[in-house]
Structure 1
């Protein structure tokens, strides 16, 4: 087995430990539960993870074709070259690996307090809250949209949200390395904490009276979204300052969660 340990990488100003030093040292030895190694696969997801100084990579496997096409990439030094079929057998059925997979551990979690301390008090900032979303691919797609539209963090309830998976990383297409996931115990309490720090909590609700186009967002905004099937829970709705909806035609009843979140991020950003 060829190993490539994270200790060989140099830290940068964009790393977790540089941006959130308190959280990094606090959680370095006390990772989130269920923090077992897993495989990240796919070109964008794997190369982004290998370029992230906070990633602990213990093994890289690439196909002959991938190795030849990327022979000048320094992050692939020490990679174990295998047949495509060997990668197929290593990963969950149906995984589109594109010739690369890396074994890693979940990223370290950061605290909501550390996140708020790191952002400028005058900057226009948006964070997203997911109320018990359970599909790793949806979460990955949401991370990708967050990176595209400048949403700074994804806040989730720890107990009812899946851990990092290869499918999540693949759907995020590198955004898992860019947008921090903040895991909290109590969403309602977290919303209250955000409000105390001048965030406006706006929930997406298909039954709301106002649409996004009618809203003038504040400097600090938290966009809240419910689960794939049930939507926001009652207490989450109660803690929203405002609820809005996306205008859709009568031909569809609702949108997929990841699509609805992407549209919402665009409405905030424009």
Structure 2
């Protein structure tokens, strides 16, 4: 059975897809300069082996990215979707797992940036609502800068039922809310944790918020109303990574 295919653009997104042994790259469209750059960046391994490569001018490649108003940098690839990890299988018999959960976050750039930060700071995975996840978005792949190849993304049909099931499996649910009284950095962050981030403007859905064991916030200048959701997530991920590093 053939999987659906789609196009991604951008140097990091394409290079990391080529490096991922689980990712099938069907076609590669490169400029002469980007081909040379691939060999410079990976001199010990031929990333173009077993891949159909087509050489194009920069202008010819523009048609793959002008609609989204992003830069292709001389790299375009047609790829297959990865096999989706199953959350209940992943968490089985694991301890000290930290997962991020995106409740109502739909902007591809924000999702891509969150994925990039989650991979950078060793968050174990990201839970997203299947219907709202832009799985074939060039914008998301570009913003993730190749990190989507290194992070488990769990697509679920219902966020609330997923959180309920995780609570029953001894996960602590932390909802990030600018109106919360407790600063997230005051938490010890032990055991299995879910970090729930709501959308910009709306925040967490009211019903979703009820599943949180704790509501926490990022302490900041009270003259500033809020941070971009991807910036907020990066701050939290870095803090947890720092704590884990110093506890190990």
TM-score for both structures, normalised by structure 1: 0.82
Aligned residues: 235
Instruction: For residue 110 of structure 1, report the CA deviation from its aligned partner.
Output: 1.9
Cα RMSD after superposing both structures: 1.8
User: In structure 1, what is the equivalent of residue 210 of structure 2?
Assistant: 238
Structure-to-structure mapping, 1:101-250, within 5 angstroms: 101-117=76-92, 121-122=94-95, 124-250=96-222
User: In structure 1, what is the equivalent of residue 55 of structure 2?
Assistant: 81
Instruction: For residue 227 of structure 1, report the CA deviation from its aligned partner.
Output: 1.3
Instruction: For residue 30 of structure 1, report the CA deviation from its aligned partner.
Output: 9.5
CA contact (8 A) 2:101 2:127 kept: yes
1:58 to 22, 26, 30: 26
User: In structure 2, what is the equivalent of residue 17 of structure 1?
Assistant: none
What are structure 2's unaligned runs of at least 5 residues? 243-248
Moved over 6 A (4+): none
TM-score for both structures, normalised by structure 2: 0.88
Change in CA separation of 1:237 and 1:57 when aligned onto 2, cut-off 3 Å: same
Instruction: For residue 264 of structure 1, report the CA deviation from its aligned partner.
Output: 1.4
CA contact (8 A) 1:212 1:267 kept: no
CA contact (8 A) 1:134 1:228 kept: no
CA contact (8 A) 1:55 1:104 kept: yes
Deviation sequence 1:210-269 (CA, Å, 0-9, x none): 001211112211100111221101111100010100011123100101001111112222
Please state whether the residue corresponding to 1:254 is helix, strand or coil. coil
CA contact (8 A) 1:39 1:91 kept: no
Query: Quick one: distance in 1 between partners of 2:111 and 2:37?
Result: 30
Instruction: For residue 151 of structure 1, report the CA deviation from its aligned partner.
Output: 0.5
Please state whether the residue corresponding to 2:91 is helix, strand or coil. helix
